[in-house]
Amino acid sequence: MRHTEILRVRKQVVAVELALENMPSRSVEVFLAAQEIQQYQRQQLLELLEHGTPFLPIRDATAERWEIANRDRILWVRVPPASFPAAGEETEELFDIRQKVVVELTSGPPLEGELLYSAEESLTRDTDYMNQQGRFFRLWKNEDLYFVHKPFVTRVIEEN
């Protein structure tokens, strides 16, 4: 075994769509620590976005090149269901509140989807959900999950 192989950390490649500030979205691969239990991979990706290092290594899937993206300039990350074929936690989650919304951003087109969440009885408004701690929030569009970066949100418009 070569010395460089000993230092390698196993990673799991995850295909996502990434939108950076003032740039069109594109397909990239991000890297998560390999785990035996795959049902928490979406949560692991969210934790990487919330608490990871300021610069994330990514691989542009189309151009086949490595890049480093500034985590603070991420508008959103779209996670298609195919990215986590063995994920169980997301399909089993039950939510008390479902609200269709349009999310307007400081850069790029608006996102349409649903806020799905559960909350204490006194904190059930969409405003309460958006004001929870964390830099990103979840927006669902059909089977896709978006992690949307709150600092780039200008408005969240409720739809009936």
What phi and psi, each to the nearest 5 degrees, are found at residue 100? Answer: -75, 135
Q: What is the pTM for the complete model shown? A: 0.83
**pLDDT digit string (tens) for 88-127?**
444 556 778 889 999 999 999 999 999 988 877 777 788 8
pLDDT of residue 87: 43
**Number of Cβ atoms within 10 Å of the Cβ of 53:** 9
CA distance 20 to 73: 6
pLDDT of residue 90: 45
Q: Could you tell me what percent of the chain has a pLDDT over 90?
A: 54
CA distance 12 to 31: 6
- Nearest Cα neighbor of 31 from 63, 62, 66, 7 is 66
All residue ranges of the chain with pLDDT < 70 are 1-10, 35-40, 83-93
pLDDT of residue 97: 82
